Amino acid sequence: MRLSPRNVRSRLTLWYVGVLAALLIAYGAGSLFYLFLSMREQVDHNLREDVETVAGEIASQPDGSLTLRLHHGEEGDPGFHRFVEIWSPEGSLLYRTPQLQGLALGVPPVPGKITEGRGPFSERLPNGLRVRVASSLHHLEGRTVILRLAHNERAMWRELGEFATVLIIGLPLGVLLAGFGGYALARKALAPIDAMAMQTKRISAERLSDRLSIENREDELGKLGTVFNDMLARLQAAFDQLRRFTADASHELRTPLTAIRSVGEVALQDQKSPGEYRDVIGSMLEEVDRLTKLVESLLVLSRADAGNVQLQRAEISLLAVAQDASSLVEVLAEEKRQKIDIVGDANLIVSADRLILRQAIVNLLDNAIKYSPPGSPIFVRVWPAAGNRATLEIIDVGLGISLEHQPSVFDRFYRVDKARTREWGGVGLGLSITRWAVEVHGGDITLESKEGHGSVFRASLPLSSNSASSPTERGSQ
Amino acid sequence: MHEGMPDLRVLVVEDEAKVARALREGLQREQYQVVVAPTGEEGFFLVSAEKFDLVILDLMLPGRDGLQILSALRKRGLQTPVLILTARDAIEDRVEGLDKGADDYLVKPFAFPELLARMRALVRRGRQERAARLSIDDVEMDLVAHKVRRHGIEIELTAREFDLLEYLLRHKEEVVSREMVTLEVWKERARAVPIDNVIDVHIARLRRKLDEPFERKLIHTVRGVGFVLREES
């Protein structure tokens, strides 16, 4: 037999049975002992009373010998055996009940070491009879005698034996029944787990839409199942996202590849001047450049997904980072006669990787410049916010983003206007990278936009603990 | 064709045949003597048997890893400059490569002009003269006075435009890629920073000031590659 059974069901049952058996054995032994004590007390009580009775029945014969006037009625009672011995203090036997057939109730009294009068003691006679013996000193017609009275304990032991038998037979039977019951119960209780295991086995990456069936949401197993289902839902979402991402990525890779291929194939079909070939190769290289940028963006995101981007954190002013980002791209705004207007609190310090954070802001500014008309302003605002945070807003008065597109703008490869973005050379990953860059610093980013009126990208970042938050000291550029 | 450095021996350890061939042809055109080793073992053998002025080492090689070759090379006390090519765009790899004694690295896919520029920087390292004046055609740049003249007429440039022109002048007759400009003029290390259009705007402005008023155009765009400052032939 295995010492540690494999399934929980058997283990539960074994424990249950073991504990129950131990309890029953302890209880049985206790009862038996208590019964024994109380029965012995009864015997001793009877014995002590009987000693007085018997003492009164002793008669001295003229020849000096002693006799006992016995109650004959009790003599024939098979359940009541009374044995009497009378000794002289010197140790000579004066009387012995015939029923004893010459057997002694204990050792003869030793002169000078009279121990009589002490409490009853148990004795086993040589013929196997268990008796309870009481002895006492008596004065009879001027002489002292030792009276020893014994009662047969057979009835008591028989009764105890019967009780023990009942226990010994009943206990294993009870434990066995309880074991079966416990096993059945455990089986019933654990059956839903088996069912869940079977269902879970059938769920694979291809069938992530399956869910465990839950009978009762409130009980422990129902909660387990719910937790499981929630996890499956998250897994499914992650898988779907990954699948969509892979499909989108291969699509995005395919587009420049197609261009390279067709441009090359067409160019080879007829003779061209070196200048024309140069142009063809240049055009192919442009696509290669696009591919390279796409792969680099994908690398950034994949490293972000794997969580192994090591941030070079420093205590920096959010406003300073915004100004830095703005100075990088402000020529693009100038080309469109747009003005980037930065206002904010220079004392809002965040603990951040300057390059990554700046990249996020550059992406947002780049979008704002692209999607707002020439001559329009772009606002950058850096304010303190509740909960020890800083808010960064990039506001444009451009095209805006319609409601249907708003939830998806941060998704990878999502483009509000596919044709136009391509023309501008974007790959649809800028805002994904921006969101990652904000979130990796413990922040979050939201979009508020009205089609035709412009957009507000609002990033909220936790302030560094060292941030000297002087409330409204606002510098502007 | 340009200054070049004749008879510099370059070992290219690169297993990808097409890349190796392109490197060989491109470098030979620039007056380098090129030896190509297609495996790590061969590269290792060559570098310990012969003398090279420069080693271009691919990191992912069959047989022997590029970094192994590099550390074995340095343990033998060979001080040949080593430029690492790597597809592994991870900072740890770069740091490891530089720790093991590489002098520079380029992440694949790289722009060929950038490779040439890095190679030139490596072989003339230590004997780079800082000219006080740079010039091309009738353009003169005074680095001390921070002034640019063309045909004797002073041209007002912003600081960034000045830096850009200085870089183009230092690499006149060479094609410079946008990546090189990003790194050398804007000093942006992260390749993901998309400032190509920012560079294009600056080039356009520079062109407006430097070329448009004059007959001979000096700034040329090489489609798909970058820009070059050169006198028209």
Nearest CA in chain A to B89: A299
DSSP secondary structure string for all residues of B108-121: SS--HHHHHHHHHH
> pLDDT at position A87, please?
83
Token pair 């090359």: residue? A264
The pLDDT value given to residue A133: 86
- Domain assignment of residue A62, yes or no: yes
Q: What is the mean pLDDT of residues A71-94?
A: 67
Dihedral pair phi/psi, residue A93, rounded to 5°: -75, 125
- pLDDT, residue A475, reads 42
Q: State whether A56 and A88 are in the same domain.
A: yes
Question: Does B194 contact A at CB distance below 8 Å?
Answer: yes
> Radius of gyration (Cα) for chain B, nearest Å?
19
Q: Does A276 touch chain B (CB under 8 A)?
A: no
In a domain, A192, yes or no: no
Give the nearest partner residue to A286 out of B90, B194, B224, using CB atoms.
B224
- Supply the angle between the helices B66-75 and B91-99 in degrees, to the nearest 10: 20
CB pairs under 8 A between A and B: 57
Q: ω into residue B109 within 30 of 0, thus cis?
A: yes
CB distance A380 to A392 below 8 Å: yes
Q: Which residues of B touch A299 (CB under 8 A)?
A: 89
Q: Say if CB A116 and CB A139 are below 8 A apart.
A: no
Alpha helices in A371-471 (DSSP H): 418-423, 430-439
Over range A259-263, report the average pLDDT: 91
Identify whether the C-beta of residue B102 lies closer than 8 Å to the C-beta of residue B108: no
Contact A91, A110 (CB under 8 A): yes
pLDDT of residue A111: 67
Which of B93, B200, B223 to mutate against chain A (most A CBs within 10 Å)? B223
Which backbone phi and psi does A165 adopt, to 5 degrees? -60, -45
Any chain B CB within 8 A of the CB of A288?
Answer: yes
Q: Tell me, what CATH number does A51's domain have?
A: 3.30.450
Same domain, A430 and A358: yes
**Final residue of a domain: which of A135, A158, A181?**
A158
Q: Inter-chain contact A366–B194, Cβ cutoff 8 Å? A: yes
Contacts of B92 (CB under 8 A, 6+ apart): none
The whole-angstrom distance between B50's CA and the closest CA on chain A is 36
Residues 141-170 of B with CB under 8 A from A: none
Domains and CATH numbers, chain B: 8-123 (3.40.50.2300), 133-229 (1.10.10.10)
pLDDT at B126: 47
A145 band by pLDDT with thresholds 50, 70 and 90? confident
B50 inside 8 A of chain A by CB: no
CB contact under 8 A, A282 and B109: no
Phi, psi of A348 (to 5 degrees): -85, 105
Q: Is A244 helix (H, G, I), strand (E, B) or coil?
A: helix
Two structure tokens written together for A32: 């038996």
**Long-range pairs, B62-65, Cβ under 8 A, ≥24:** B62/B15, B63/B39, B64/B39, B64/B40, B65/B40
Q: pLDDT digits over B85-129, tens only?
A: 877 655 556 666 677 778 888 888 888 888 988 888 888 754 555
Assigned domain for A262 exists: yes
A-chain CB neighbours of B194 within 8 Å are 293, 362-363, 366, 430
Q: Are residues A263 and A322 in the same domain?
A: no
Q: Would you state the pLDDT for residue A1? A: 45
B22–A contact, CB cutoff 8 A:
no
Domain match, A350 and A408 both: yes
Smallest CA–CA distance, residue A198 to chain B, in Å, is: 43
Is residue A199 in some structural domain? no
Residues 121 through 180 of chain A touching chain B, CB cutoff 8 Å: none
CATH number of A254's domain? 1.10.287.130
Per-residue pLDDT of chain B (233 residues; tens, 9 = 90+): 444 455 789 999 998 889 999 999 999 998 899 999 998 888 888 888 888 889 998 887 776 778 888 887 788 777 888 898 877 655 556 666 677 778 888 888 888 888 988 888 888 754 555 678 898 989 999 988 999 999 999 999 999 999 999 999 988 888 898 888 988 898 887 655 668 889 999 999 999 999 999 989 999 999 888 999 998 76
Mean pLDDT computed over A185-210: 81
Contact list, A297 vs chain B (CB under 8 Å): 192
CB contact under 8 A, B225 and A285: yes
B198: nearest CB among A285, A332, A425: A332
- Nearest residue to A348 via CA among A387, A326, A323, A316: A316
Mean of the pLDDT values across residues A361-374?
A: 91
The pLDDT, as a whole number, for residue A477 is 38
Residues of chain A with Cβ-Cβ distance to B89 below 8 Å are: 296, 299
**What is the reported pLDDT for A476?**
41
Residues 92-121 (B) with a CB less than 8 A from some CB of A: 109
Q: Tell me which of A181-185, A262-266, B120-124, B181-185 is least confident.
A: B120-124
Query: Of the ranges A117-121, A375-379, B99-103, B173-177, which is most confident?
Result: A375-379
Q: Cα separations (Å) of A262 from A257, A258, A287?
A: 9, 6, 12
Query: Average pLDDT in the A17-36 region?
Result: 92
CB contact under 8 A, A331 and B198: yes
Domain limits for position A408: 313-476
Residue A158 has pLDDT above 70, yes or no: yes
Q: Quick check: A460 pLDDT over 90?
A: yes
Q: What is the least distance, in Å, from the CA of B117 to any CA of chain A?
A: 19
Q: Is the pLDDT of residue A70 over 70?
A: no
Cβ within 8 Å, pair A282-B190: no
Helix (H) or strand (E) holding A138: strand A130-140
- Assess whether pLDDT exceeds 80 at residue A80: no
Between A261 and A50, name the one with better pLDDT. A261
A140 shares a domain with A15: yes
Examine residue A336 and state whether it is found in any structural domain, yes or no: yes
- Please tell me the distance in Å from B202's CA to the nearest CA on chain A: 8
Are A412 and A344 members of one domain?
Answer: yes
* A359 part of contact set with chain B, CB < 8 Å: yes
The vertex-A74 CA angle with A73 and A79, nearest 5°, equals 135
Test A282 with B197 for CB contact under 8 angstroms. Answer: no
Judge whether B197 is closer than 8 Å to chain A, CB to CB: yes
Contacts for A92 with CB less than 8 Å, ≥ 6 apart: A108
Residue A406 DSSP symbol: G
pLDDT value for A261: 92
* Chain A residues whose beta carbon lies within 8 Å of the beta carbon of residue B177: none
Same domain for A344 and A271: no
Q: Measured between CB atoms, does B193 come within 8 Å of chain A?
A: yes
The whole-number pLDDT of residue B97 equals: 67
Residue type, A34: Y
In a domain, A188, yes or no: no
pLDDT above 60 (res A73): no
**A123-142 in b/e burial notation, b at 16+ Cβ within 10 A?**
bebeeebebbbbbbebeeee
> Three-state SS for B36?
strand
φ and ψ at A322, to 5 degrees? -65, -40
Asked if A61 and A34 sit in the same domain, the reply is: yes
Same domain, A368 and A461: yes
**What pLDDT does A135 receive?**
82
Are the beta carbons of B202 and A331 separated by less than 8 Å?
yes
Of the three residues A107, A127, A158, the one that is the final residue of a domain is A158
In angstroms, the separation between the Cα of residue A224 and the nearest Cα of chain B is 41
Taking the CB of residue A158, how many other CB atoms lie within 10 A of it? 11
pLDDT at A471: 47
Using the beta-carbon criterion (under 8 Å), do B223 and A278 form an inter-chain contact? yes
| Mean pLDDT of the residues in chain A | 83
In chain A, how many domains are there? 3
Q: Are residues A47 and A104 in the same domain?
A: yes
Residue A213 maps to a domain = no
Residue B26 near residue B111 (C-beta atoms within 8 A) = no
Classify residue A317 by burial, with Cβ atoms within 10 Å: 0-12, 13-18, 19+: buried
Please check whether residue B191 is in contact with residue A296, taking contact to mean a CB–CB distance below 8 angstroms. Answer: yes
Where a domain ends, among A279, A306, A333? A306
Tell me whether residues B223 and A329 touch, CB distance under 8 A.
no
pLDDT for A341 equals 95
Same domain, A317 and A284: no
In angstroms, what separates the C-alpha of A273 from chain B's closest C-alpha?
Answer: 16
CA B214/CA B217 separation, integer angstroms = 7
Same domain, A151 and A16: yes
**A193 part of a folded domain:** no
Beta bridge partners of B205: none
SS3 B133: strand
Task: Give the pair of three-digit tokens for residue A187.
Answer: 């089986």
| pLDDT score recorded for residue A212 | 80
Is B190–A359 a contact, with Cβ atoms under 8 angstroms apart?
Answer: yes
Instruction: Report the CATH number at residue A353.
Output: 3.30.565.10
**A371 pLDDT exceeds 60?**
yes
Does A3 have pLDDT greater than 60? Answer: no
Q: What percent of chain A shows pLDDT beyond 70?
A: 89
CB B48 within 8 A of CB B22: no
